[in-house]
Amino acid sequence: MRIYIEYVLLDNLAMDACILLAVSRLLRRKINAFSIVFGAIVGSVISLFLPLISASKIITVIVRWLSGFIVFIIGCLPKSKRDFILGVPLFFAVTFVFGGAAIGIAGLLGVRIVNGSYYAKYPVLFILFTAGLILFLTIRFIKFLEKKKAIASYIYNIKIYHKGREYQTCALIDTGNRVIHKGKPVAFITSLAAQKLLGEDFLPFMLSPQKEKVSIAFASGKNSELMSFYVDKIDIIELGQMYERVCFAIVFREFYDAESYEILLSPYYIKGDKNEFTRGS
């Protein structure tokens, strides 16, 4: 049987690089391109010699696991016990998922492997690329679920009372929102939610030259002014807390961050600092 070494090296290099990149992302490590490429090169070189090992199945399995461990160490550069404890199982799990995806795609494309020889009209790299794309999308989905779970505890149902109207929606407690206007913390509301809340008063408010504005200072040094208005009170339903005369600044974009919400509340509303604003009865 004739084996083209350059193809074996190239295919394994691409596969190992995808696996190491995926593990680094799942470990929330800063991507080190050099270590990932070097680890992939080591892995592809090891793959050349593994078929040459003639030993019992147990020894072969041990050697393969040790080689995977070496590739993980070189490619991901674990720096703590957490990296080792989570990283090693992740590396082999991702390898299993990636290999399973590649085998599944190969089956769908009618690929035949006979005595180690590859028979198909599609190049191996195409299958590896597709499997890598599936792996990438899987990681993105996992991180999306993690983010969704992380922010769920910061989302509250609130009811807004304004000039006889009531509007219930979802609000996110934004820990980075420290904007204060005239001694009160500012909440941010989407223009669509403001339109629903103000009703027929929305257009006159937008056209009025007398509307109040909130000045926002960004970390970049730039300042911006947003149109604002006051509501009679808000009720944070889960907390059973009501606050009177709350300042809302209008933003002309939608909020979406793994969860949908229309309001960004200041963390002062959770702390309940009476020196910052007035709490209703």
Is a pLDDT exceeding 70 seen at residue 131?
no
Asked if residue 103 lies in contact with residue 36, where contact means CB atoms within 8 angstroms, the answer is: no
Residue 279 above 60 pLDDT?
no
Contact 88, 69 (CB under 8 A): yes
Last residue of a domain, one of 151, 178, 200: 151
What's the rounded Cα separation, in Å, for the pair 46 and 41? 9
**Domain enclosing residue 257, as ranges:** 153-271
Residues 57 and 147 reside in one and the same domain? yes
Within-domain flag for 279: no
Residues 233 and 266 in one domain: yes
Amino acid residing at 144: F
| Collapsed DSSP state (helix, strand, coil) of residue 87 | helix
Tokens representing 238?
């889960």
The answer to whether residues 163 and 144 belong to one domain is no
Residue 273 phi/psi, 5° resolution? -75, 105
103, 123, 151 — which closes off a domain? 151
Please answer whether residues 262 and 167 qualify as being in contact, where contact means their C-beta atoms are separated by less than 8 angstroms: no
The answer to whether 71 and 22 have CB atoms below 8 angstroms apart is no
Q: What is the pLDDT of residues 48-95, one digit of tens each?
A: 777 666 767 787 778 878 888 888 888 888 888 888 888 888 888 887
Of 25-34, 102-111, 113-122, 153-162, the one with minimum mean pLDDT is 113-122
Q: Which of 197, 190, 198, 191 is nearest to 168 (CA)?
A: 197
Q: Cβ(15)–Cβ(98) under 8 Å?
A: yes
Q: What is the CATH number of the domain that holds 257?
A: 2.40.70
Same domain, 111 and 190: no
Same domain for 206 and 136: no
pLDDT interval class at 278 (50, 70, 90): very low
Q: How confident is the prediction for the chain on average, in pLDDT?
A: 77
78 with 195, same domain: the answer is no
Give tens-digit pLDDT for 87-121: 888 888 887 777 666 666 666 666 555 544 555 56
Please indicate, yes or no, whether residues 24 and 67 belong to a single structural domain of this protein. Answer: yes
CA–CA separation, 172 vs 195, rounded Å?
A: 19
- Residue 277 falls inside a structural domain: no
Answer whether 28's CB lies under 8 Å from 143's CB: no
Query: Does any domain span residue 276?
Result: no
Residues 262, 191, single domain; the answer is yes
User: Same domain, yes or no, for 128 and 172?
Assistant: no
> Which of helix, strand or coil describes residue 109?
coil
Kindly tell me the burial class for residue 29, based on how many C-beta atoms sit within 10 Å of its own C-beta (0-12, 13-18, 19 or more). middle
- In the numeric block, which tokens belong to residue 208? 């009025």
Assign 30 a pLDDT band (cuts: 50, 70, 90).
confident
DSSP E strand stretches across 100-150: 112-114, 117-119
Q: Which of 151, 169, 187 is the last residue of a domain?
A: 151
More confident residue, 187 or 152: 187
Do 66 and 81 have their domain in common? yes
Phi, psi angle pair for 222, to nearest 5°: -80, 150
Burial letters for 200-216: b for 16+ Cβ neighbours within 10 Å, e otherwise? eebeebeeeeeeeebeb
Kindly state whether residues 94 and 182 are assigned to the same domain.
no
Q: Does 32 lie in the same domain as 45?
A: yes
Q: Which residue has the tokens 């390898």?
A: 95
pLDDT at residue number 248: 92
Beta-bridge mates of residue 161 = 166, 233
Helix (H) or strand (E) holding 193: helix 191-198
% of the chain residues with pLDDT over 90: 9
